């Protein structure tokens, strides 16, 4: 069963910043078309990586799937229900740390479980997810006492503890150093193998997409359309360098994004 459908979606923003040149009167507000007629379907349990040039509307698309913003035309459906506001069964992991700095790791994970009345069950759940991301000696630390990778894992634990159907991640590895990036990426892949949540990951890193995705989507520049939508029928872990098809696909995507990979 397919759980997320995006139908004929268009999104434009009013550009209020355009001023007339040389003291001319400000121009009337103009519309910028960001997403132009997007049609996509994400199946249950799929891990989809979305690539595209900066400013093409990737975050905007995720925000609409998460219900934080609304399409100008068209619709987003989850389980055949139109998304009009954030849903408790889809969790958005933000581009920058979303941990509350005045709360410990434990308290941050607990945040999403406020509705759970059974205290014992709640504590077990918090413990389980903290262990899953290997932060079990750091549950009483505050975010500033964690490394970047640990903070990102704590966020993952918080998102997963809610047991969402859909996990929406906007550049989840941003700001991490190379090795931490690889470790957190592995964590996300392991989590996906284990829990099979529908997972949408926006990344600007082509290798992330090729290593992680069940499917890769490449968007064009603004007004953005889906330029490539392809399945990656390879098991994980994957070695891109040893998989000729993935190497070819990597070249193709670099080309689509307007970068010559071979320098």
Ligand X SMILES: Nc1ncnc2c1ncn2[C@@H]1O[C@H](COP(=O)(O)OP(=O)(O)O)[C@@H](O)[C@H]1O
CB of 200 to Mg ion, least distance (A): 13
For the bound state, the minimum distance from the C-beta of residue 57 to ligand X, rounded and expressed in Å, comes to 4
Smallest Cα–Cα separation from 130: which of 110, 116, 149?
A: 110
The verdict on 13 binding ligand X (CB under 6 A) reads yes
Does position 58 interact with ligand X (CB under 6 A)? The reply is: yes
The answer to the question of residue 57 lying near ligand X (CB under 6 A) is: yes
Neighbours of 204 (CB within 10 A): 15
Give the neighbor-by-neighbor strand order of the sheet with 90-93.
90-93, 166-170, 198-202, 47-51, 215-219, 226-231
Least distance from ligand X to the Cβ atom of residue 11, Å: 8
CA distance 170 to 191: 17
CB of 170 to Mg ion, least distance (A): 6
Contact window for ligand X (CB under 6 A) among 22-30, 51-59, 178-186, 210-218: 51-59
59 binds Mg ion (CB under 5 A): yes
254 φ, ψ (degrees, to nearest 5):
-55, -45
Q: Is residue 200 within the footprint of ligand X (CB under 6 A)? A: no
Binding flag, residue 54, ligand X (CB under 6 A):
yes
Q: Which stretch binds Mg ion (CB under 5 A): 12-20, 36-44, 51-59, 120-128?
A: 51-59
What sign does the dihedral 85-98-176-46 (CA atoms) show? negative
In the list 6, 9, 34, 191, the residue contacting ligand X (rule: CB under 6 A) is: 34
**Of 57 and 112, which has the nearer Cβ to ligand X?**
57
């Amino acid at each position: 069963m397919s759980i997320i459908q995006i139908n004929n979606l268009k999104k434009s923003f009013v550009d209020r910043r355009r001023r007339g040149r040389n003291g001319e009167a400000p121009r009337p507000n103009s519309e910028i078309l960001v997403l132009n007629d997007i049609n996509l379907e994400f199946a249950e349990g799929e891990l989809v990586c979305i690539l595209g040039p900066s400013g093409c509307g990737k975050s905007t698309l995720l925000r609409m799937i998460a219900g934080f913003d609304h399409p100008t035309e068209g619709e987003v459906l989850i389980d055949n229900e139109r998304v009009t506001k954030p849903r408790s069964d889809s969790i958005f992991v933000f581009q920058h740390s979303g941990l509350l700095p005045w709360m410990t790791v434990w308290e941050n994970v607990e945040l999403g479980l406020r509705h759970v009345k059974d205290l014992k069950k709640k504590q077990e759940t918090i413990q389980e997810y903290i262990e899953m991301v290997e932060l079990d000696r750091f549950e009483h630390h505050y975010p500033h006492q964690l490394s970047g990778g640990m903070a990102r894992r704590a966020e993952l634990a918080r998102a997963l503890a809610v047991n969402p159907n859909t996990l929406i991640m906007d550049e989840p590895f941003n700001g991490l150093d190379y090795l931490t990036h690889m470790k957190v990426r592995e964590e996300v892949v392991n989590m996906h193998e284990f829990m099979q949540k529908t997972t949408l990951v926006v990344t600007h890193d082509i290798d992330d997409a090729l290593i992680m995705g069940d499917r890769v989507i490449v968007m064009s520049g603004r007004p953005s359309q889906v330029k490539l939508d392809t399945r990656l029928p390879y098991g994980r872990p994957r070695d891109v360098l040893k998989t000729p098809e993935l190497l070819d696909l990597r070249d193709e995507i670099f080309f689509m994004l307007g970068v010559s990979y071979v320098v």
